[in-house]
Structure 1
Amino acid sequence: MINHLAIGVKNHQASQKFYRETLNALGYVIHYFGDDYTNFSDGISADPFGDFAIYEGEVYPMHLAFEAKSNKQVDEFYKAAINNGGFDNGAPGYRVNYHENYYACFIVDPDGYRIEAVCHNGQAH
């Protein structure tokens, strides 16, 4: 059900060291990284970027991505969210900057949490 979780951090370098050492105890390793972000994975995730990410920037409550089985489910998630008090933060569509089959939508829920529905397999139905 949950695909990945991402949080903003004040100091990427300090947080990367903290999570690298702490999550290593659970079998997580750095999977993907850049100057201001790091993604961790246990090697099993369906998401090619990993399971948990930190990035330097605005520290807001969290970003939570729910895994969808099809693009159609992403579309339905988006419509249901908008119709029930959510706010658009990225309409359904492919995000090829992540990978060619990354089909997702982004919502801000009524409390300000940033949520996503994502399908990685490119299945329309």
Structure 2
Amino acid sequence: MLEWLAALSVGDGAVANQSRQALWIRQRVQIAGRKRFCSRSQTAATSATPVVPTVACGKVVNIARSALMLDHVDFAVCDFGRSRLFYEAALLPLGLVPVVAFDEGEGRIGVGFGRDGVGCLFIGGGPPVAGRLHLALQAPSRPAVEAFHRAAIAAGGICHGPPGLRERYGPNYFAAYVKDPDGHVIEAVCRTAT
């Protein structure tokens, strides 16, 4: 389900926190590997599991795509109506559409974006996120990254990095960055050569 999520980064970026986060990621990947691949037949099947080069503490490490353990992300925005319109437009080129909505009668106002009726990215009203929030969403192709960038800018986003190759993150790391209406960095990334 979380193939679209390439990375999630929240925090102030302090070096000590990055070291702790990198250790935590390594431990969670090891634990996930033990839990997920406990039988011999399952272990044999993992040889074809795609590996994702990921930057942790300035070093590229390889993490199996199946080890990504997030199910969904939910955060509050300042102006729900404006943000909903922005995300509807920006996420459409990535194949993410509104799949569930909440109204104030349900205790909160919000919307979930996803595929096949399953929400994986939720925004809603409430006290907004303070500090840094960076979401990197996997795009199916480089043209989809470019379409995401155009749509996000047209919907009121601010360019934070035009579509292009970012080789410091990997040889095929093609990404575009925009700031949403709250200033959060939203990225679309494609890791394939085309």
TM (norm. structure 2) is 0.46
If asked which structure has higher relative contact order (CA below 8 Å, sep 6+), I would say 1
Q: Which residues in structure 2 correspond to 1:17-96 (within 5 Å)? A: 17=20, 20-21=23-24, 24=27, 27=31, 32-34=55-57, 43-45=63-65, 60-96=131-167
Alpha-carbon shift at residue 100 of structure 1 (Å): 1.7
Unaligned runs of 5+ in 1: 53-58
Matched, 1:13 2:16: yes
% identical aligned pairs: 28
Q: Is the 8 A contact 1:39 1:51 kept in 2?
A: no
Q: Which runs of 4+ in 1 moved over 6 A?
A: 38-41
Q: Which amino acid aligns with 1:13?
A: A
Unaligned runs of 5+ in 2: 33-53, 71-129
Tell me how far apart the structure 2 counterparts of residues 10 and 95 of structure 1 sit (CA, whole Å): 20
Q: Which residues in structure 2 correspond to 1:107-118 (within 5 Å)? A: 107-118=178-189
Alpha-carbon shift at residue 122 of structure 1 (Å): 1.7
Structure with the larger helix share: 2
Q: Secondary structure at the match of 1:69?
A: coil
Largest Rg, 1 or 2: 2
Tell me how far apart the structure 2 counterparts of residues 80 and 88 of structure 1 sit (CA, whole Å): 11
TM (norm. structure 1) is 0.68
Aligned length, in residue pairs: 109
